[in-house]
Amino acid sequence: MSSIVVSDLDYAPPGGDSLFFDISFGVSPGEHAVIVGPNGAGKSTILRILSKEIEADEGEFALGGTALTMSQDVGMSRPNDSLRDMLLDIAVPELRSAGQKLVEAEKAMADGTDDGMAYANAIIAWGDLGGYELESQWAAAAERSVKSPVDDFSTRLVGELSGGERKRLVLDILLHSGADVLLLDEPDNYLDIPTRVWLENQIINCPSTILMVSHDRSLLERTATKVVVLEGSGCWVHGGPYATFHDARAARQSQLGDALKRWNAEERRLHGHMKMMKTRAAQNFKNATKANAAETRWEKFVAAGPPPPPVADQKIQVGLRGADSARRVLNIVDVAIDDLFLPFSDEVHFGERVGLIGPNGTGKTHLLRSLAQETTPTEGSITLGPRTSIGTFTQINDRPDFLGHAAFDIVRGRVSDDEKAMKSLARYGLAGHARQEFETLSGGQKARLEVLCLELEGHNVLLLDEPTDNLDIESSEALEQALDGFVGTVVAVSHDRTFLERMDRFIMIDDDGSVFSIPDFELALEALSKPDQTSNLAMVKTLT
């Protein structure tokens, strides 16, 4: 049976406090479940445990049948690997091992350290395990997913494909693999809107049991049939689709009663966990340390007393102030960058929310960097209006100036005293990570810290590159509400449809280099789904 059963998982990172404990849930055959929760709650860690990448401290799990895994950063960290190397990483263990031995044998043949016997044996093992059938699946997926032909997976480098192409290729292979169970961590990251729609349809029609982590609200509403919720240090399960999750959570919170009742419920849970661990310790002395830790956790909780336990709502308060500027903020005249898009002209005015949209690889991020004056366009000019102060948000949280610095120190450099720094971190849910260095924060925590810095710096023009990609859902909603009240101008590259819906107008760059102005969200979605007919859509203006 292609089910997932998880029972009493506990995990603490090496040298750290408990990340979660008592995690129990099940996913029935054919269900498509999502794990949701705040950044840093352990969503990706659970997938890593189930894929046997790391071990839990306690608990058990069982995956029925063949299971395949896709990590959040698949294909991103080793651009000089071959496509074959990348795709072997997502194969079943037996084929992965056979493929890696074949690669090693090929190298030995090339450098003369093998007389051919090891190579011959590796080829036989590869074929016997179904390697050639797997290569046929790779070829079919590449034909559907990669714009330029892939003639040889062993020589074509990962870095020669865009991030979106790499992700779509891996997803195409996994979703057509026939695996019983798929574990997908952030499958939508790096995908443009047309590819996200493709992904949604593929998941809906996939017979495999799927457990995934995603922050794309549109994708979750269309695909998730069950929700596993990480809150506090434990979890609960909403057995219905994601579309009904928020109402279910509100009802659950109401049933828990007032703060004292919630505190009492958590105290009983911690006390029960402590008693269970002491029972285990009495049976096996190796559990004594964990039993002592459980007792200490319960004692600290009781000593702190009410009010509410950790399952209370995450409170993220984003307060983007901004300031006035001249009416014309950006003047774009006959701008082109390399061969990415044709020269175009446009103006961005104070208070506008402009979305930069289009397929992956068309130059949206390059244009955003030129608007920020970080690079110079190949042709044309970009000038800023008077009193313009630009703040930027990077897609991959690429902030060399933050490296080696604790979150508190980064914020303290932007406020007048220590108390204000800690209050600012608390508003963004980062107070507990104040002493962590930037590079040790999760992707979502880094994103929140960057947005906080934009707030404190007081810019009146925000250039945002995929701002919601790594944010948990509560943080994304808080950012969107803050942008609604922001006194200033926003230009954002995004593939998040819920986020884009709040934009006033759109600049779309098409695959052929054409640039269009689109006045509303619905028309923009139509243009993205029918790129060949963009110029024929009503109210779309060609800027090139």
Please, are residues 460 and 325 in contact by the beta-carbon 8 Å criterion?
yes
Segments of 233-302 assigned E as strands: 234-238
- Dihedral over alpha carbons 438, 443, 445, 450 (to 10 degrees): 70
Query: 141-171 burial, b for 16+ CB within 10 Å, e for fewer?
Result: bbeebbeeebeebeebebeebbbbbbbbbbb
For 23-40, the DSSP string reads EEEEE-TT-EEEEE-STT
Please, are residues 171 and 201 in contact by the beta-carbon 8 Å criterion?
no
Among 79, 9, 73, 76, smallest CA distance to 46 is for 9
Query: 44-78 burial, b for 16+ CB within 10 Å, e for fewer?
Result: bbbbbbbbeeeebebbebebeeebbbbbbbbbbee
Measured CA to CA, the distance from residue 501 to residue 525 in angstroms comes to 10
pLDDT score for 308: 40
Measured CA to CA, the distance from residue 93 to residue 26 in angstroms comes to 24
The residues with which 492 forms a beta bridge, in sequence order, are 355, 464
pLDDT score for 88: 93
Please, are residues 180 and 62 in contact by the beta-carbon 8 Å criterion?
no
The residues with which 236 forms a beta bridge, in sequence order, are 229
Side by side, the strands of the sheet bearing 489-493 are 390-393, 461-465, 489-493, 353-357, 505-509, 515-518, 541-542
Type of residue numbered 177:
S
pLDDT score for 310: 35
pLDDT score for 254: 73
pLDDT score for 505: 95
Query: Alpha helix (H) ranges present in 112-192?
Result: 117-128, 131-145, 163-175
Q: Report CA torsion sign: 268, 48, 476, 395.
A: positive
Please, are residues 191 and 358 in contact by the beta-carbon 8 Å criterion?
no
Query: Alpha helix (H) ranges present in 3-69?
Result: 43-50
Measured CA to CA, the distance from residue 311 to residue 315 in angstroms comes to 11
What is the bridge-based pairing of β-strands 505-509 and 353-357?
parallel
Give 10-residue mean pLDDT values along the chain (544 residues). 90 83 94 91 93 93 94 82 92 92 86 79 92 94 90 90 88 95 93 91 96 94 95 87 90 70 83 89 83 88 64 56 71 94 94 92 91 94 91 76 92 90 86 88 79 84 87 80 80 92 94 92 86 70 83
Among 511, 513, 515, 503, smallest CA distance to 543 is for 515
**Cβ burial, residue 14 (10 Å; 0-12/13-18/19+):** exposed
Does 194 sit behind a cis peptide bond, omega within 30 degrees of 0 on the bond before it? no
